[in-house]
Amino acid sequence: MTGTDAKKYIPQGPPFVMIDEVTRADDTISQTSFTVREGHLFVENGRFTEPGLVENMAQTAAAGTGYRSGESGIPPQVGYIGALKNLIINELPNVGDTISTEIQFMNQVLNVHIVQGRVFKDGREIASCELKIFLQQ
């Protein structure tokens, strides 16, 4: 898959969009990229904040699910972060930095997805966590 506009695969709209492009979406992995911009909702003192990184991971998971649903003609589902586990943030990206995010789908029980998220900048992992995401039916 080549990069595609992520906005059509997620239910969020501006200014609450934390991904630019979907670079991979299959049954187990979802990948996106995002360039941090000045004036963004989650930019503070020239850096993309912790809540922005968590939401970036959640939206990467949503984009993967939305991409797969879109292939079947189903609109993207709304999801909610139900739990966050083992959050590690090693670095906050600066305005102008491009981050890439990878989500691995670990388990699904009914409408609950458990995913492992990892955020990279310049090939280095800068953040990671496990998310439990509840999809609205």
Domain that holds residue 26: 4-135
Model confidence over 45-79: pLDDT tens digits?
A: 999 999 999 999 999 999 988 887 777 777 777 88
99-111 core/surface letters (b: 16 or more CB in 10 A; e: else): bbbbbebeeeeee
Instruction: Kindly report the CATH number assigned to the domain that includes residue 64.
Output: 3.10.129.10
Residue 2 has pLDDT above 70, yes or no: no
CB 105 within 8 A of CB 64: yes
Cα 115 to Cα 4, 109, 122, distances in angstroms:
22, 12, 23
CB 114 within 8 A of CB 131: yes
pTM of the model: 0.92
Model confidence over 87-136: pLDDT tens digits?
A: 999 999 999 999 999 999 999 999 899 999 999 999 999 999 999 999 88
User: Considering its fold, how many domains does the chain have in total?
Assistant: 1
Amino acid at 35: T
